């Protein structure tokens, strides 16, 4: 067990699904599993670990495959949704539990959605943030972008092994500061962010804030910076390099709804909600999420919703968990 920068949260390491996995843990009670996104770590859930555990739950937030204190396998094809969901299924088992409510943000949201879709016996309820649920479809997103004549989307830039890594690793702290600010609700200008990279680089489409936003303290940024300075960005970027492979592997579940209780939370200023298909996915929730208990768009919040609006998110999440 290693020391954690958050009081009351323990860091532990186990072997699950053939990789060494580090996770943060707080509390006891029914298991709630938190899956972070890019470019983040277990630390993204610091506010949830303390508050949700205090409400009577065993909260576990792993460093996901490729991040932090968890192994980052070399082959790109080791980062598919099947492996990522497998990691969460096996972690649940190794923790001695037979079920868990799964929560995910950003890339962790597709992991949580697919965990609920593929293993309803193991994950009887799901909460996702930022990325709406859409059943596996008939066209993958990279092909869809090509057909639209779009070749400068950030997802396409991330496909080139070594290129985004080199850009981000030149100044890790500066890169994270720009990414966290530009995708947050604190940045209100138009034209920058995760989308079309008009300059040909990722950071050329971001803004360096004059000061850190209130939700991101210097010590928070320092923790993320230390983690990515140690691990680099390759592991997390490899998730993006499996978009087409994920689409192929999920063919048996095309068009399938998630039936168990579900919750969705996002910020009104989250760039993901501006993606062309996002509103259609939200509109289709009655059909695709028949167990939906709430879909909440938090006014003024950006992409990092559980860090930008921890009190609101924790209230919604605890209400959902206690209502199960």
Could you list the active site residues? 106, 303
Say how far apart CA 225 and CA 176 lie, in whole Å. 7
92 contacts 100 by C-beta, under 8 angstroms: yes
Query: Do residues 10 and 79 lie in contact, with contact meaning Cβ atoms separated by under 8 Å?
Result: no
Q: How many CA atoms lie within 13 A of 111 on its CB side?
A: 29
Nearest to 273 by CA among 166, 176, 194: 194
**CA–CA gap between residue 26 and residue 263 (Å, rounded):** 22
Strand order in the sheet with 10-16: 10-16, 19-26, 58-62, 31-35, 101-105, 126-129, 262-267, 292-298
Compute φ and ψ for 222, nearest 5 degrees: -65, -40
Alpha helices in 215-277 (DSSP H): 218-231, 234-240, 243-249
């Amino acid at each position: 067990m290693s020391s954690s920068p958050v009081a009351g949260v323990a860091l532990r390491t186990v072997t699950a699904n053939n990789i060494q996995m580090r996770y943060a843990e707080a509390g006891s009670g029914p298991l709630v599993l938190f899956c972070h996104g890019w470019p983040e770590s277990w630390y993204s859930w610091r506010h949830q670990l303390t508050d949700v555990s205090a409400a009577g739950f065993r909260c576990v937030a792993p460093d996901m495959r490729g991040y932090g204190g968890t192994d980052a396998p070399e082959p790109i094809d080791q980062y598919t949704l099947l492996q990522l969901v497998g990691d969460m299924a096996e972690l649940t088992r190794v923790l001695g539990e037979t079920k868990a409510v799964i929560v995910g943000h950003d890339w962790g949201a597709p992991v949580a959605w697919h965990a609920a879709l593929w293993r309803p016996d193991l994950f009887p309820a799901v909460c996702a943030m930022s990325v709406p649920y859409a059943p596996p479809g008939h066209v993958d997103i990279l092909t869809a972008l090509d057909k639209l004549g779009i070749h400068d989307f950030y997802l396409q830039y991330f496909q080139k092994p070594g290129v985004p890594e080199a850009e981000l690793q030149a100044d890790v702290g500066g890169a994270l500061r720009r990414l966290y600010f530009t995708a947050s609700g604190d940045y209100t200008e138009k034209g920058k962010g995760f989308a079309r990279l008009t300059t040909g680089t990722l950071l050329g489409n971001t803004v360096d804030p004059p000061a850190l936003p209130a939700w991101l303290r210097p010590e928070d940024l320092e923790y993320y910076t230390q983690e990515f300075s140690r691990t680099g960005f390759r592991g997390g970027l490899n998730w993006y390099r499996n978009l087409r492979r994920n689409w192929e592997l999920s063919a048996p579940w095309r068009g399938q709804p998630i039936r168990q209780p579900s919750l969705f939370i996002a910020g009104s200023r989250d760039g993901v909600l501006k993606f062309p298909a996002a509103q259609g996915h939200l509109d289709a929730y009655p059909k695709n999420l028949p167990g939906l208990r709430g879909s909440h768009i938090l006014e003024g919040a950006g992409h990092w919703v559980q860090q930008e609006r921890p009190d609101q998110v924790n209230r919604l999440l605890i209400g959902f968990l206690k209502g199960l």
